[in-house]
A = this chain, B = another copy of it.
Amino acid sequence: MPRPGAPPALAAPEEDELYEFDYFYHEPGAVPGTLRIDADALPPTIVLIDYCETKASRSTIHEPEECIPYLDSASVSWVDVKGLGSEETLQRLGRVFSLHPLVLEDVVNVPQRPKVEEYQNQILLIARMVTLKPSGEGFCSEQVSLILGPHYLLTVQEEPEYDAFDPVRERIRTNKGTIRTHQVDYLAYALLDSIIDGFFPVLEVYGEQLEALEDEVVMNPSRKTLEKIYQMRRELLSLRRAIWPQRDAINSLIRDENPLISAEVRVYLRDCYDHAIQVLDMVETYRELASSLMDVYLSSVGNKMNEIMKLLTVISTIFIPLTFIAGVYGMNFNPDASPLNMPELNWYWGYPVCWTLMLTLASSLVGFFWRRGWFENFSASKND
């Protein structure tokens, strides 16, 4: 539903026009709870995984209302919705799970800032999941919303193609680890842990890029290097914006003694919180390094200029006086008009003496630069 009542002056921005750092916003003054469905979003697919210690089942749901019987059953029910392309389905889901209108709004109108909010009998957790782009350059991120109830977990994902949850599904299916012996709060932890741990491979790539940039900026700094450093700073800023509020959110999950989360799972969440802090720590370290690299780049540019100028100065300083001498003896004062007029031109040793003079001058200048170490530096940089 497009925004009603928008003043014509402000054209509704196209989804793809959104700048990378923008959060979603609805039209000022719009009814709270208004959903905005992106035209090219895919229709939601709903998968229900229901398990207890002894068995686990997986089924695809077509009508949201099919979930109702599972909500109050003692077994753990995980309803996984992928894709935000149908307002009607999402509204029905909202009714099935008795979601507050503001919850539904936050789930559907992406991107939102990660956060935790407690409602009666439910906890809403907005998380951000990052994955490396297949090209290896940069990462893409999508919003995952978790709504935790007494016996069910509803997850809503922005993109249908990929998620980081397959290992968890596998653990449920094959009963690996202890996941099937725990309640739904452990499932929420397991998914959240997958999301947080998904930051590490992304950061690892940035670590490698930083190492490469460190070499490049000293060895062979070019305008490309500058763009790469800036790009890295932007992306690290973006990662920081994703992980920072998530750390806070997990912390408030641990601290607020909500009965939906057992003490045992709280211990696991503490581990998850540790990982979030490690991610943040790495992001901050990388940001600091990238910022130092900018300083080094600036100095390298200055150093390069120094070398260029040295070359120019050496060449000019050596040849300008020589050229002057040659110019002097190219003057046409008439030796016939006066014995004082350029008698050197008629001397027997005139020309050799002139060359001797010039070579002496040149070699003493070369020696001067040599002693000041200009050539050392110069040849040193030739090896780069």
Chain A at the B interface: SS class = helix
- A339-B173 Cα distance, complex, nearest whole Å: 98
Q: How far is the CB of A258 from chain B (nearest CB, A)?
A: 16
Q: Is A372 within 8 A of B377, CB to CB?
A: no
Residues of chain B within 8 A of A252, CB atoms compared? none
Sampled A-B contacts (6; CB under 8 Å): A19-B211, A31-B179, A102-B271, A292-B294, A326-B331, A331-B354
Does any Cβ of B come within 8 Å of A319's Cβ?
yes
Does any Cβ of B come within 8 Å of A100's Cβ?
yes
Stretch at the interface among A42-50, A90-98, A149-157, A191-199: A191-199
Contact with B along A151-167 (1 / 0, CB 8 A): 00000000000001111
Q: Is B292 within 8 A of A301, CB to CB?
A: no
Residues of chain B within 8 A of A370, CB atoms compared? none
Q: Is A223 within 8 A of B334, CB to CB?
A: no
Partner of A350, one of B177, B313, B338, B372: B338
- A234-B327 Cα distance, complex, nearest whole Å: 55
Partner of A324, one of B115, B168, B277, B323: B323
Q: Which of A241-271 contact B (CB under 8 A)?
A: 241, 267-268, 270-271
Q: Which of A120-170 contact B (CB under 8 A)?
A: 132, 134, 164-168, 170
Residues of chain B within 8 A of A319, CB atoms compared? 320-321, 323-324
Q: Is A168 within 8 A of B29, CB to CB?
A: yes
What total of chain A residues lie within 8 Å of the partner, measured CB to CB? Answer: 141
Partner of A29, one of B13, B165, B301: B165
Partner of A338, one of B10, B204, B292, B348: B348
Q: What residue in chain B is nearest A322 (Cβ atoms)?
A: B324
Q: Which of A305-345 contact B (CB under 8 A)?
A: 305-306, 308-313, 315-317, 319-324, 326-335, 337-338, 340-342, 344-345
Q: Taking A226-B300, A341-B350 as given, write out 11 further A-B residue pairs in contact, using a Cβ cutoff of 8 Å, ordered by the A residue number.
A: A7-B166, A19-B207, A22-B207, A25-B201, A28-B167, A28-B198, A29-B197, A113-B274, A292-B294, A320-B323, A329-B332
Q: Is A170 within 8 A of B5, CB to CB?
A: yes
Q: Is A223 within 8 A of B230, CB to CB?
A: no
Stretch at the interface among A53-61, A70-78, A283-291: A283-291
Q: Is A21 within 8 A of B286, CB to CB?
A: yes
- A288-B267 Cα distance, complex, nearest whole Å: 36
Q: Is A227 within 8 A of B218, CB to CB?
A: yes
Does any Cβ of B come within 8 Å of A216's Cβ?
no
Q: Is B382 within 8 A of A25, CB to CB?
A: no
Q: How far is the CB of A356 from chain B (nearest CB, A)?
A: 12
Q: Is B102 within 8 A of A26, CB to CB?
A: no
Q: Is A28 within 8 A of B372, CB to CB?
A: no
Q: Is B208 within 8 A of A218, CB to CB?
A: no
Output the residue of A9, A176, A218, A341 with the most chain B CB within 10 A: A341
- A102-B272 Cα distance, complex, nearest whole Å: 10
Contact with B along A1-45 (1 / 0, CB 8 A): 000110101100100011111110111111111000000000000
Does any Cβ of B come within 8 Å of A69's Cβ?
no
- A204-B22 Cα distance, complex, nearest whole Å: 7
Does any Cβ of B come within 8 Å of A65's Cβ?
no
Residues of chain B within 8 A of A320, CB atoms compared? 315-316, 319-320, 323
